[in-house]
Amino acid sequence: MLHVFSRFRLLLGIVLALLFLAAAACWFLQRNFGYFAQQYLDKLSVETGLAIRAQSVRVSLWHAPSFVARTFSVESADMRFSAAKVILCLDLFALLRGKVVLKSLLLAQPAVKGEVAPDDARRLAAFFAAPTQGEAFAPSEKLRLTIEQGEADLAGKDTVRLQLSGMDCDLSVLQSKAGGWRVKADVRGVVAIDGARTPFSLGGVAVTCGRSNQGGRLVGFEDIDMRLGGDSARLNAVLTRHDADAAGFGLAGSLHVQRVSLTRWLGFARNLSPGLQWALDNVTDAVLDFSLDGRGLSVPHIEASVAGGRFTGSGGVRTWANPEVALDLTADRLRLEAGIPEAVGRLPRPPDFPHAPLTPMPGEPLKPGEIGVNYNIRLGARTLDYASVAFENAGVAITQGKQDENGLEDTLLTADARFCGGSLHGEAVFGGGHAGPYAVNLRFRDVDGAAASEILTVLPLNKGRLRGDVQLTSQGRSIAEFLERLRARVDVVLTQGALLLPDAGSAREARAGTLDIRSLVVSVDAHSGVWEKGRLALNGQWSSVLEAAGCKLRSELAGTLSFGGSADEGTVFFNNCPGVFSLQFVSADWATLQGVSAELKGNFSLRECKQVEVGNARLSIPGIEVSGNIQLGGGSDGAAFKGAVVVRSKDMGQLARLFGVTGAHFLSSACELTLDTDIRGGMRAVTLGNLRAVVDQTKVTGSFSAVWREQPNLEFDLAADAVNADRFFSDRKEKTNKKSSAGKAWDLRFLRGMHVKGALRVDRLALWGLNLRDVMLPVLLENGHLVCSPVKAGCYGSTLHGKSVMDFDRGLCFAADFSVDGAEMTAASKDVGGGVVLGGKVGLSAAISGVLGGPGQMPSALNGAWRFLVRDGSYQKRGGDGEGKGKAIEFATAGASGDIKAGVARSNDFALQGKGLAMNGGGVVDLNSDAVDCNFIVNMPGVPEIPIRLHGGLRDSKTTVSVGKVILNTLGAVPKGIFDVLGDVVQGAWKLLR
C-alpha cells in the first residue's frame, strides 16, 4: 500500500513539475515574445526586401494558441498593407505534433494601397493554386478568415482605380480528407467609383469538384449572390484551369440577373436617347447561359425583360483582343413608347449617374492604356406597337460607325419594319464628341393608305398608296439644343387615292362621300424647333399639292407649327402663319371653270385641330373679291365657321358666266356688288347677320339664314333703299323661237322638301318704267306651296295690292292677282316716257293663272281676266324737255276689260268718253308674238264715224285711219298712248313670269 502511494506521489510530482515548467515557459514567452517576433520580422524584411513592422506582438493561450500583432504593416516600393490588429489562431493539437496549422485569421481595419501591375492578379492566382510545399505549415481542415472594416485603394497602369471601404468579410474554408475544399464567403462593403460610394456584397459557396478531362482543376460556384448598388445577380458556374491551353481558364454556367443597369456601367448605352437610357437602366429577370475563357465570351441563350417586353436570343464577345459586344435579341410584342417615350412627345431627362461608365463612351477618343469596346446589337420585335399603329417584323441594329481624324466615333442605328403592306427603313448616325451631331434618314414605300387610315384616324383616306422620305440633321446633347439646330426635310406622296369627306358629326363613320385624287404631295422644310408647354414646335415651310378630277389645289404656309396631344389623338397648333391656298381647274371636266383659278391669302391660325382662323383674308376668284377675318372650327354638326367679311364684285356677269348662268342680262359687266356682313354657320347652316350690301347702286340691309337638315330651311329679312329692276330685264325685244326654247321637262318636286320664309322691303322700286314705293313682299314656301301675300306697294298716290300662289310638283301651277285704284296717270306717264303725256286717275286689276311643265311655255300658258279704267284723263304731246306741249285733249273716262287665254288677251268693250268725243272698240293683244290688232270707232259731233285700226308690235304699234293727217295725229294717238303705258305693264309681267 505504501509502495503504491509512493509511486503516485512520484507521478504527481512529475506532472506538477511539467506544469510549472510549461507555465514558466509561457510566462517567459509572453514576457519576451515581442523581442523574438521583432527579430524574426527584421530577418524576414531582409530576406523579402519588404518593410515589415508591428508595434507589438504577443502570444495568447486563451482558448487556443494565438499570435496577436497590433499596428501591423507590410510595405513595398508601390504597395502598402496595414492593419490595426492581426490575430492568427493555431491548432493546439497540431502544434503539439510539431505542425503549425492555421485555424483562423482576423484582420481588423486592414488597408491596402498602391499600384497593381497587369500580371499581379495572375501571379496571385498561381500562388494560391500551387501545391503546399512541405508540411511544416498548412491550413487547418477548417479555416476561417474575418475582415473587419477593411479598406483598399488600388490603381492600375491603365488609370483604373479600385477603392473599397467599410468592407466586412466572413470566409470559411472546409477541407475534405480527399484534398478538396469548400469555401463559404460573405463579403460586404462600399466601393468608390470616381469618388461615388456604392455599396456591394458578395456571398455564396465555392467548392472544388475534381479535375477536367484535360487535367485542369474544377471549381464550382454555387448560388453566388452578387450585389452592387441597386443591381443584383446570382451565379452558378464551374471554373476550369487549363495549364496547357492558351485560354488559361474557363468559366461556364448560368447567371440569373434580378436587375441590372446597362446604362450605368456600359458606355455605349449612355450615347442613346434619354428614353432608351431609362429602358436599359432597368433590365430585369435576365437569364444567361454562358461560357467564358481567356479568348472570349459566348452566351448562346439569353432571356431578359426590358421596357415591358420579354427578349430572347444570344450574344457574346468573340475575342478579348478586339472586344465587340454582340447581342441578337427578339421580343414577341413591344410598345415603342415604353422604350422611346420621345416618340409620343414625352421628353424625359437622361438618368443621372454619379460616375462614368466602366467601358469607354462611344464617340470619344480612347485614353492612353484604355481598351475600346465595339458593339453590334440587334433588337427585334415580331409586333411593335406605336400608339394605335402596329409594325410587323420590326428590327434595329446598333453598331459603331466610322472614326474621324480626331478619333471620334459615330454610333449607327439601322431599323426595318413592315407596315400596312409596305416597308419602312431608317438609318440614324449619332456622332461623337460633346457636340453630339445627328443624321437621320427614313423612308417608307408602298403603304396601303386605307389600312393606314384605319389605324391613324387623322388620315382621312379611303384608298391609295403612300410613300415618303425624311432627312434630319442636328446636334446637341440636350433637347433644347437639338431642336434649336434642327434641319429637316419631309416629303410624303399619296397616289391614286381617295379622301373621305366629312359629314355632320365628328364620328369617323359619318361621311358625306369620297373625293378621288390622282396625287397628293406634302413637303416640309423645318429650320428649327423648340419644346415648350408639352408641345413640339417646328418652324419652317409647309406646302402641299393636290390633283383631283381636273383641278389642282396648292397650299403654302410659313411659320411655326406646334404638335402635341396623346399617342392616340394628336393635335396641331399654329398662330398667324402667312399662307396661300390656290385652286386651279385644269381640264374640261369642269366645263366653264376650265382655266379658272381661285386664291386665298391671309394669316392662318389653328388651335387644337378644332378651330382655324384666317386673319386679313383675301379670296380672289374671277368676278369677286372677299376680304375679312374668318374662324373655322368644330360644332355640334361638324365643321363650323364665323367671321366678318367684305365681298366685292365689279363684274357679276363674269361671276354668273363662271358658273354657267347665261342669258342673265341683269348681271351685266356694269353690275357691281359690295357685301359687308357677319357670317356664322357650319356643315348644315349659315347665317348672314348685320348684312350691308350694295348691288347695282342699291343698298340692302338685313339678315339671311339657311339650314340644311331633313329639309332645307331658308329665312330672310331684307330691306333695300332703291331697286332699278329695269336694269335687270333688258328693254330690247326678245324673239322667241319655240323650237329652241322648248327644253327638257321640269321636275320641281325638290321644292316640296324646302321651307322658305322671309320678307323683302323696298323703299323705291323701278319696274317697267314705273316707280313704286314702300314695296312689301312676304314669302312663305311650305310643302311645295308658295304664297306671296299680302303684296303691297305705293303706286302714284295709291296702293297696289297683290297676291301670288304657286304649287310645285313636276311642273308648277300658279295664280296671281293684283289691283290698284286711283293711281296718278300723269306721274306714271312721265316716268314711262314716250311721245305723249297721259293724265287722270287709273284703276287696274288682273287675275292670271297657268300651268308650266318646262321652259319655253310662257306666255302661252297664261289665262285669266283683266280690266282698267281711267277717269278725268287727258292727252298731250310731250316736248323735248319731257313736259307736255300744246293744248291737252281731255276725256272723262277710258277703260276696257277682257280675258287672257293661252297668252292672248281679248277685249270688245274699250270705251273712251270725252267732251264732244267718244271712242269704242276692241281687239286682240297676242303676248306670244308681242303683237296688237285693235279696231276703234271714233264719234264726234258733226263728223261721220271714223274707223281707226291699231296694229303692229305692242311697243311700236301703228294707227291707220281713213281721214286726214290732222285727225290721224290727234285722235289716233290717244289709244296708242294708252297702250304705251299699259303695254309696259303687260309686257313686263310676261318677261318676269317667263
Q: Is 667 domain-assigned?
A: no
The per-residue pLDDT for 424 is 92
Task: Give CA–CA dist 601/613, Å, rounded.
Answer: 12
Amino acid at 618: R
- Stronger pLDDT, 627 or 738, i.e. the higher one: 627
Percent of the chain's residues with pLDDT above 90: 24
840 and 983 share a domain?
yes
272-286 burial string, b = 16+ CB within 10 Å, else e? bbbbbbbbbbbbeeb
258 and 353 share a domain?
yes
Does residue 286 carry a pLDDT above 70?
Answer: yes
Is residue 243 very low, low, confident or very high in pLDDT (cuts 50, 70, 90)?
A: low
The per-residue pLDDT for 2 is 45
Indicate the average pLDDT of the chain. Answer: 78
Residue ending a domain, among 345, 360, 375, is 360
206 and 148 share a domain?
no
Mean local confidence (pLDDT), 843-850: 92
- Stronger pLDDT, 339 or 635, i.e. the higher one: 339
Task: Give CA–CA dist 325/359, Å, rounded.
Answer: 11
Q: With residue 973 as reference, give the H or E element that holds it.
A: helix 973-993
The per-residue pLDDT for 441 is 92
Q: Is 492 domain-assigned?
A: no
Does residue 506 carry a pLDDT above 50?
Answer: no
Does residue 902 carry a pLDDT above 50?
Answer: yes
Does residue 943 carry a pLDDT above 70?
Answer: yes
Work out the end-to-end distance of the chain between its first and last CA atoms, rounded to an integer number of angstroms: 171
Write out the three cell numbers for 373: 469596346
972 and 933 share a domain?
yes
The per-residue pLDDT for 324 is 86
157 and 187 share a domain?
no
Q: Is 736 domain-assigned?
A: no
The per-residue pLDDT for 79 is 85
Does residue 707 carry a pLDDT above 80?
Answer: yes
Which stretch of 342-351, 443-452, 467-476, 620-629 has the lowest confidence by average pLDDT?
A: 342-351
Does residue 622 carry a pLDDT above 80?
Answer: no
Q: Number of structural domains, the chain?
A: 4
DSSP for 807-818, please give it: EESSSEEEEEEE
Mean local confidence (pLDDT), 23-39: 55
Q: Is 713 domain-assigned?
A: no
Q: Is 595 domain-assigned?
A: yes
The per-residue pLDDT for 36 is 57
Mean local confidence (pLDDT), 864-884: 83
Task: Please write the tens of the pLDDT for every residue from 728-740.
Answer: 654 444 444 444 4
Residue ending a domain, among 360, 387, 410, is 360
232 and 99 share a domain?
no
204 and 336 share a domain?
yes
Does residue 511 carry a pLDDT above 60?
Answer: no
CA 688 to chain centre: 33
Does residue 427 carry a pLDDT above 80?
Answer: yes
Task: Give CA–CA dist 668/111, Å, rounded.
Answer: 108
Cβ atoms of 263 and 232 within 8 Å: the answer is no
287 and 322 share a domain?
yes
- Stronger pLDDT, 292 or 533, i.e. the higher one: 292
Cβ atoms of 687 and 703 within 8 Å: the answer is yes
Does residue 978 carry a pLDDT above 80?
Answer: no
Helix pair 973-993, 825-832: axis angle to 10 deg:
70
Mean local confidence (pLDDT), 870-894: 80
Full domain range(s) for residue 343: 176-360
Assign residue 909 a region (left: φ > 0; alpha: ψ between -120 and 50; beta: otherwise): alpha
Which stretch of 339-353, 408-422, 670-684, 958-972 has the lowest confidence by average pLDDT?
A: 958-972
245 and 152 share a domain?
no
The per-residue pLDDT for 733 is 43
Q: What is the bridge-based pairing of β-strands 798-808 and 785-795? A: antiparallel
Question: Within 13 A of 827's CA, how many CA atoms are on the CB side?
Answer: 13
Mean local confidence (pLDDT), 764-777: 88
Is residue 595 very low, low, confident or very high in pLDDT (cuts 50, 70, 90)?
A: low
Mean local confidence (pLDDT), 193-202: 89
Q: Is 106 domain-assigned?
A: yes
Q: What is the DSSP letter of 591?
A: G
Does residue 369 carry a pLDDT above 70?
Answer: no
Residue ending a domain, among 332, 360, 388, is 360
Backbone angles phi, psi at 555, to 5 degrees: -140, 140
3-state secondary structure 70-98: EEEEEECCCEEEEEEEEEEEECHHHHHCC
Percent of the chain's residues with pLDDT above 70: 75
Task: Give CA–CA dist 914/936, Å, rounded.
Answer: 15
Q: Is 937 domain-assigned?
A: yes
- Among 916, 927, 922, 899, CA closest to 975: 922
Cβ atoms of 372 and 359 within 8 Å: the answer is no
Which stretch of 356-365, 557-566, 579-588, 836-845 has the lowest confidence by average pLDDT?
A: 356-365
CA 326 to chain centre: 38
The per-residue pLDDT for 509 is 45
- Among 859, 850, 972, 833, CA closest to 925: 859
Task: Please write the tens of the pLDDT for every residue from 123-146.
Answer: 444 444 444 444 444 556 788 889
Which stretch of 53-62, 327-336, 894-903 has the lowest confidence by average pLDDT?
A: 53-62
Mean local confidence (pLDDT), 455-484: 82
The per-residue pLDDT for 35 is 58
No. of helices (H) and no. of strands (E), the chain: 14, 48
185 and 158 share a domain?
no
Task: Please write the tens of the pLDDT for every residue from 654-701.
Answer: 665 555 544 444 455 456 778 888 888 766 788 888 989 887 778 899
- Stronger pLDDT, 276 or 900, i.e. the higher one: 900
Does residue 967 carry a pLDDT above 60?
Answer: no
The per-residue pLDDT for 130 is 44
Angle at the Cα of 832 (from 830 to 836), degrees rounded to 5?
A: 60
839 and 925 share a domain?
yes
Most confident residue range from 63-72, 201-210, 407-416, 972-981:
201-210
Most confident residue range from 769-773, 780-784, 888-892:
780-784
Q: Is 979 domain-assigned?
A: yes
- Stronger pLDDT, 769 or 518, i.e. the higher one: 518
Write out the three cell numbers for 344: 409620343
Q: Give 80's strand partners.
A: 75, 113
Residues 6 or more apart in contact with residue 963 via CB below 8 angstroms: 946
Task: Give CA–CA dist 964/941, Å, rounded.
Answer: 17
Task: Give CA–CA dist 576/605, Å, rounded.
Answer: 5
Residue with cell 293684283: 818
Is residue 313 very low, low, confident or very high in pLDDT (cuts 50, 70, 90)?
A: very high
Helix (H, G, I), strand (E, B) or coil at 882: coil
Instruction: Return the C-alpha torsion angle 66, 67, 70, 72, nearest 10.
Output: -130
76 and 107 share a domain?
yes
The per-residue pLDDT for 565 is 58
The per-residue pLDDT for 18 is 47
Write out the three cell numbers for 479: 433637347
Cβ atoms of 904 and 914 within 8 Å: the answer is no
- Stronger pLDDT, 107 or 24, i.e. the higher one: 107
Tell the burial category of 31 from Cβ atoms under 10 Å away from its Cβ (0-12, 13-18, 19+).
exposed
Does residue 91 carry a pLDDT above 70?
Answer: yes
Task: Give CA–CA dist 548/462, Å, rounded.
Answer: 14
